[in-house]
Chains A and B, each alone.
Chain A
Amino acid sequence: MSADTMQLIQQFLLLLQYTLIFSSVLMMVALGGCFSEHSGVINLGLEGIMVIGALGGALVMRYLPAETSGLVMVLLVMLGAVVFGLVYSALLGVASINFKADQTIVGTALNMLGVAGATVLVKAINTASNPDNPSSIIEYGIPRQSFLVTFKIPVSVEGGAERFLSFEFNWFLVVAILMLVAAYVVLYKTRFGLRLMACGEHPQAAASVGINVLKMRWSGVLISGIYGGLGGICYIMAAVSQWEFERGVAGFGFLSLAVMIFGQWKPRRIALAALLFGLLRALSNVGTGFAALQALNIPGGVYNMMPYVICLVVLAFTSKKSRAPKAEGIPYDKGMR
């Protein structure tokens, strides 16, 4: 094999690696949004929930002793992210379900609160342990290894030396697929899921057959917290071994909203949409590695904005007969018809 071919294959592997992990993140968070919207609550706070979920997982990694076994580490980190995401999403639940607050304001507030809260907390932790370190960075290089399986494929390159093709497999890929199956089964094959979706289409009708609408909406919001939290920790561990919480999650929560809409609120389509948008994100990161793409000279920003452009175009053509839950965004009022 020539050195050039080898490099091309390596670039493809890298692209695949990024695409898969970014798609997993987008899919999980979009599925979370899907649960919340199907129950009738628009969750614009996904970005904030991701940040807080990521914080939960990162804190677990910071405080667990380094010699913790891999499996325990993986499970506890995920648990940390899930619990943080769940608790944080309750803020949306209280405001929008019990107090009938405007869901757009609350979602926006949660996004800002997530970044500000995480920054304040991490900085406080860092300065407490070392007064000269007022940064909002948590490092997790060693615990991160528990999530990875690195494949090294030996290749003999022309001209002698043996080189390796490498590919990082991340256990989060498996988690994401399990979460996808779970979402599909719960939404379409269980009584709970069908009832939940009824509350997003016509809550008064659902209530008339004895479904507790408030309870269903709470479930939807909390499940979105679980999915969002997992997506958050998965995102910050996707490619780097430390995270600066001041930076938030760079719009992945909003990108997931686009995935959810492009996926028309259906789990299987969401998975496909996530793959497409994940690929675009990956291209913006590693696309310059390909000579052919480099020759086209497309700035990374173009790849980054494509998902939003696609989503906007899709919306423009489908919104007249939208598949969005009919009653989303409207606080439940028993007396309304």
Chain B
Amino acid sequence: MRNLLKRKGVQSLIASLLCIILGLLLGYVVLLFINPAGAGQAILAVIRNFLNVSKANLQLKNLGNTLVKTAPLLMCSLSVLFAYKVGLFNIGVAGQYVVGAAAGLYAALQWGWGWLPCLLLAIALGAVSGAIVGMLKAYQNVNEVISGIMLNWITLYTANMILSGVTEQASPYTLHLRGNADQAILPSLGLGNLFNKHQYITIAVPLAIILAIVVLVVLDKTRFGYELRATGNNKNAAKYAGMAEKRNIILTLMIGGALAAMGGALLYLTDFEQWSVGLSSVPGMGFNGIAAAFLGGLNPIGAIFSSYFIQHITAGGAFVDKSMYASQISDLISSIIIYLCGFVLFIKHAMNTGLLRSEERAALRKQKKAAQAGNPEKGGES
């Protein structure tokens, strides 16, 4: 048991579960304050999500909706965790996601490109966006968090300006791809049929999962990944060992940018949502990606589950009794969970010291027992 608890993965899992449970609990307390009558039901509604509807068909449809939004979130969280392995906090993920969404939509609607070129353009521009942050960091020592934040807003305003050329008449929303740019909709390959003919389920979902595995392999099994992790652990040691630290920083952020931008394209090229050029804040998807990355213990496979979980409760918010509570209660819960994720290091530290102490105590007990067992003999001798 003790050996199991010492394993890093197990510790991360416990810490994440603790965050989730505490987050749900605090959310429940907030609901109790607002209206004690329906609090229990509301929190159950959030947790159940698609299970709130009784028909199997509708359940599948709702599960499908959640999955459509899980794919981009997973991509954003991969972007964050990839950069974090090198010790970089890619807060620019929110803007890179916007780059992907805008590039995909614009190429589809204005130039009539097919889905693959749209996706590739999004990835390329996302990489450029990441490279700007990376080069500023590597050559000019600009903190990547600050430059990322600045780029987030620059990107948002640029996207709004560019996309205002392809909106519906007298509406801030971009045109639907269906009917206007059918060639740009991601292929479904029959996957939609698995979810009760879900028209928005496309290759985006399996693609995101495959990329999670690719990221895992790159980080754990390749020389490049090893160098990145080494740079993250000790920048100077990596440099003295002959690793190209600057190149690695730029490459990492480029890959991070590409992953996030691909996420943006993977959502908007399904036609599930329309972009509003009236947006006055950077969309929360990227920031939720930060949450998913940390909740998943900074592990790509963990990120699959944490991304799904976050979208699951977000969608679940739609099922609370609107006459008592706001659907944003699920946003509240997920932001509490992110806040608690900040304590993960502390939780792990507490677990480790706790383990050490109990080991010490066990060792002491053993000594005592040995001493007690030894005493009568000694007594016998004297």
What residues of chain A have their CB less than 8 Å away from a CB belonging to chain B? 42, 44, 91, 95-96, 99-102, 104-106, 108-113, 115-117, 119-121, 123-124, 127-128, 131, 134, 136, 246-248, 250-251, 254-255, 257-258, 261, 299, 301-302, 304-305, 308-309, 311-312, 315-317, 319-320, 322, 324
Contacts and interface: CB of A to CB of B under 8 A. Distances in A.
Contacts of A104: 89, 91, 145
B343 interface: yes
Q: Give the interface centre of A44, A109, A246, A257 by most chain B CB atoms within 10 Å.
A: A109
B3 interface: no
Nearest to A247: B280
Contacts of A258: 150
A99 B346 CA distance: 6
Interface string B108-142: 00000000000000000000000000001000111
Contact of A110 (B291, B328, B339): B339
Nearest to A99: B346
22 contacts: A42-B145, A44-B91, A101-B342, A101-B345, A104-B91, A112-B288, A112-B338, A113-B339, A120-B30, A120-B34, A120-B328, A120-B329, A120-B332, A247-B280, A254-B152, A255-B153, A258-B150, A302-B157, A302-B161, A311-B150, A315-B140, A319-B140
A119 B328 contact: yes
Contact of A315 (B34, B136, B331, B339): B136
B360 to A, nearest CB: 21
Q: Give the interface centre of B151, B280, B335 by most chain A CB atoms within 10 Å.
A: B335
Given A112-B287, A123-B326, A134-B322, A101 B346 contact: yes
Contacts of A309: 150, 154
Interface residues of B, number: 52
Contacts of A312: 136, 147, 150-151, 154
A305 B280 contact: no
A124 B326 contact: yes
Contacts of B164: 299
Given A101-B342, A319-B140, A127 B281 contact: no
Given A124-B325, A305-B158, A109 B342 contact: yes
A105 B328 contact: no
6 closest cross-chain pairs (CB), A and B: A101-B342, A123-B326, A109-B339, A116-B331, A112-B335, A301-B157
A116 B34 CA distance: 14
B326 A136 contact: yes
Interface of B: 30, 34-35, 89, 91, 136, 140-143, 145-147, 149-154, 157-158, 160-161, 164, 280-282, 284, 287-288, 290-291, 294, 322-326, 328-329, 331-332, 334-336, 338-339, 341-343, 345-346
A253 B142 CA distance: 20
B346 A319 contact: no
Nearest to B324: A127
Contacts of B288: 112
A42 B164 CA distance: 36
Contacts of A116: 328, 331-332, 335
B146 A261 contact: yes
Nearest to A131: B323
Contacts of B143: 315, 319, 324
Nearest to B35: A124
Nearest to B326: A123
A315 B342 contact: no
A319 B281 contact: no
B34 A109 contact: no
Q: Give the interface centre of B35, B154, B280 by most chain A CB atoms within 10 Å.
A: B154
Nearest to B149: A254
Main secondary structure of the interface of A (DSSP, over half): helix
A304 B322 CA distance: 36
Contacts of A109: 291, 335-336, 338-339, 341-342
Given A111-B287, A308-B153, A95 B161 contact: no
A130 B345 CA distance: 45
Given A110-B339, A258-B150, A305-B157, 20 more contacts: A42-B145, A95-B339, A101-B345, A102-B345, A105-B342, A106-B342, A109-B335, A109-B336, A109-B339, A112-B287, A112-B338, A113-B335, A113-B338, A115-B331, A116-B335, A123-B328, A124-B324, A308-B150, A319-B140, A324-B143
Contacts of B336: 109, 113
A11 B17 CA distance: 57
Given A254-B149, A301-B158, A322-B141, A112 B331 contact: yes
Nearest to A123: B326
B281 A44 contact: no
Contacts of A108: 91, 287, 290, 338
A127 B323 CA distance: 7
A203 B207 CA distance: 48
B332 A251 contact: no
A259 to B, nearest CB: 12
A168 to B, nearest CB: 23
B331 to A, nearest CB: 4
A43 B53 CA distance: 42
Contacts of A106: 339, 342
Contacts of A102: 89, 342, 345
Nearest to B331: A116
A102 B157 CA distance: 29
B153 A320 contact: no
B335 A124 contact: no
B161 A301 contact: yes
A95 B150 contact: no
A316 B136 contact: yes
Nearest to A322: B141
Contacts of B140: 315-317, 319-320
